[in-house]
Every structure is written in structure tokens, then in C-alpha cells.
Amino acid sequence: MLDADLQNDPADYPAMLQLLAEQDADMVQGDRSHARKDAPIRKWGSWVGRKFRLWLLGDRIRDTGCSLRIMKREIALALPLEFKGMHRFIPATAGILGYKVVEMPVNHRPRVAGETKYGMGITKRALPGLIDCFAMRWMRSRRRPVVGTEIGSQHEEVAATPSSAASAASDTAAVSAGDRA
């Protein structure tokens, strides 16, 4: 994954792929903290946020806001990104799902596109982030294993999406109506 604000350096990808293989990891999360020149108030806010994430979720990732990451396809498919704010919990979710997540220092460049989300104050950033942490903790406690088995070449496997479920329901209804005729 790579953010569009151009702060992340794609030149870090080869080293991330190498670390993925060397550590037998499932995901490599970038860490820009060594290279950031943040104001003390931002550093304090990040420290408080990390402590809450550690306390509530056991999340030890230092720079979860870094969007430079590499993960195996199966993780990407398992992430519940349909929920607002879940992008903040990609490494934590991978860990909760049992995947091995490692961190590595990456380059950090000045922003040349987009807008910063920092500095929006406690009501627009900190409180929603804390509420999201509680939601993530609740979802973690409610997670249950889901296992799927491929049925072979005679039957086509269909992804469980709202549109495919509706289509399957209408197909079933059509078959049932046809059986009555």
C-alpha cells in the first residue's frame, strides 16, 4: 500500500520485501518516526495515542499512520475496510487475525500533495480515534473463525457480497417458482 500524498518513498519497497522473506513475516509496516521532525505537542499526542492503542488492543506498532506497508494478499482480503476509520487498524487487525507483523524504518519526505489530518483538535481526531479503539476492541472480542472450502470445478465459487447474495436469492426464487409450474 502507498499513500497518494507522496510522503512515502517507493524505493523502500525492495527492502520491505526482503524483510518480509527474512523474518518469515506476513506484513511489513513502515515506521517514519525516526525521520519525522514533529512539534512537541504532536509527539505528545502520538505518544498518548500509542499508549491507548497498546492498553486497549495490545498494538505495539509505533507508526500505524504510515501507509507504506507490504502484506500478503490473504491479509488484504480479510481486512474489514468497509468501516470508516479501519485504515488506522490495518497492522493491529493483521495481528489479531494471527498474522506476523514486523516494522522497519522507512524514508519520510515532505508532503507535496493532499492535506494533513493532524492539528484538528481533540473533537475531530482524538475522540473519534479513541472511540474507534473501543470499537476495534469490541470487534476483536466478537471475532469468530470463518473457514471456506472450495467446491471443485462443477460448481462456481461465488463471493459473498450483497449483490451476489441478492442474485443467488433471486435465482433460488426463480428455480422454486419453476419447480411449481
pLDDT at 85: 76
- Are 97 and 25 contacting, i.e. CB atoms less than 8 angstroms apart? no
Residue 3 lies inside a defined structural domain of this protein: no
Name the grid cell of 124. 475531530
Residue 120 lies inside a defined structural domain of this protein: yes
Residue 28 lies inside a defined structural domain of this protein: yes
Give the domain range for residue 30.
10-142
Name the grid cell of 103. 516494522
pLDDT at 124: 66
Residue 157 lies inside a defined structural domain of this protein: no
Cα distance between residue 86 and residue 92, in whole Å: 10
Residue pLDDT tens, the chain, 181 long? 666 666 778 889 999 999 999 999 999 999 877 666 666 776 776 777 777 778 888 888 877 778 889 999 999 998 888 887 778 888 988 988 899 999 999 887 666 666 665 555 566 667 777 888 888 888 888 877 777 787 876 655 545 444 434 444 333 333 333 343 3
Residue 74 lies inside a defined structural domain of this protein: yes
Residue 81 lies inside a defined structural domain of this protein: yes
DSSP string of 140-181, one letter each residue: HHH----------TTS------HHHHHHHHHHHHHHHHHHH-
> What global pTM score does this model have?
0.67
pLDDT at 71: 94
Pairing state between β 27-31 and 101-105: parallel
Residue 90 lies inside a defined structural domain of this protein: yes
Count of domains in the chain?
Answer: 1
pLDDT at 54: 81
Residue 173 lies inside a defined structural domain of this protein: no
pLDDT at 146: 74
Name the grid cell of 67. 501507509
- Which residue, 98, 39, 101, is CA-closest to 64? 101
- Are 91 and 101 contacting, i.e. CB atoms less than 8 angstroms apart? yes
